[in-house]
Amino acid sequence: MAQNDEIIGVIPTSSVDAGLRAYMLKIYNYMTGGIALTALVAMLVASNEGLMAAIFGTPLKWVALLAPFVLVFFMAAKIATMSKQTAQICFWAYSALMGVMFSAIVVAYMGMDGGGTLARAFFITAGTFAGISLLGYTTKRDLSSFGSFLIMGLWGLILASLVNIFMQSGALDFALSIIGVLVFTGLTAFDTQRLKRLYTTSGGSVGSHENVAIMGALMLYMDFINLFLYILRILSAVNRR
């Protein structure tokens, strides 16, 4: 911490503040653009019955489902050596592929209640994400101690969800959805603070690296998407009761 304070102390506070705002704004702009692209692609694919049949009625569905996961692991492994243009292409391609995957969800919920549940889930997610990310950005409390706990909770959530595929327990699914909301709400605050700290501890040097902003945006994008999915599951369960 002493070394970090020395680094920051060399730079005028106003410069740090302006640079930090620009850095975080760049991350949020990428993240927002990615979510918008995902939503647009999902709606376009969902509205085309022929395209839906071509993708989800054939083995091509496995490409649509698995390609985003392959791409995100590729980005995580290669981001340090990618050019800015390649990183941008990968991020937008990932966002578009997620839209293809989400198109099946859009079709299901549009047929269920005209998309009302989808809209409610999105606005609840957007409000929750904005508030919690702001908290992570402004809080003076160090959230690092919660990081390991949240990661453990995430792995537990994944394992329990896999088990429930075979159990098919509605009660367990509802409980896991609530836990999922808590985990990704916590991760949103934790990741926001981590991105802010990355800037301050580097003395602002990461602000000029586009790939750092892209990976930060990808991190927050995944927090938002997972939070949305768990909120959507909770609303769906409530509607069925």
pLDDT of residue 16: 59
- Residue 7 to residue 165: CA distance in whole angstroms: 50
Q: Which residue has the tokens 């991760």?
A: 187
Pairwise CA distance, residues 50 & 53, whole Å = 5
The pLDDT assigned to 6 comes to: 40
Q: Provide the number of structural domains found in the chain.
A: 1
Amino acid at 217: A
Question: What is the C-alpha separation between 41 and 60, in angstroms, rounded?
Answer: 17
pLDDT given for residue 18 in this prediction:
83
Structure tokens that stand for 99 in this block: 């839209």
Residue 204 gets the label, from left (phi > 0), alpha (psi -120 to 50) or beta, of: left
- Write down the residue that tokens 């919690």 correspond to: 132
Query: What is the residue type of 142?
Result: D
Query: 3-state secondary structure string, 128-179?
Result: HHHHHHHHHHHCCCCCHHHHHHHHHHHHHHHHHHHHHHHHCCHHHHHHHHHH
What do you get for the CA distance between the two ends of the chain, in Å?
52
Q: Counting beta carbons within 10 angstroms of the beta carbon of residue 93, is it exposed (0 to 12), middle (13 to 18) or buried (19 or more)? A: middle
The residue range of the domain holding 171 is 2-240
Q: What would the two tokens of residue 147 be?
A: 């990081």
**Is residue 123 within 8 Å of 86, Cβ to Cβ?**
no
Taking the chain (241 residues) in consecutive chunks of 10 residues, what is each chunk's mean pLDDT?
Answer: 41 64 94 97 95 91 90 92 94 96 92 88 97 94 88 92 88 93 96 92 77 94 97 90 70
Does the CA dihedral 24-27-33-38 come out positive or negative? Answer: negative
- Res 14: pLDDT: 52
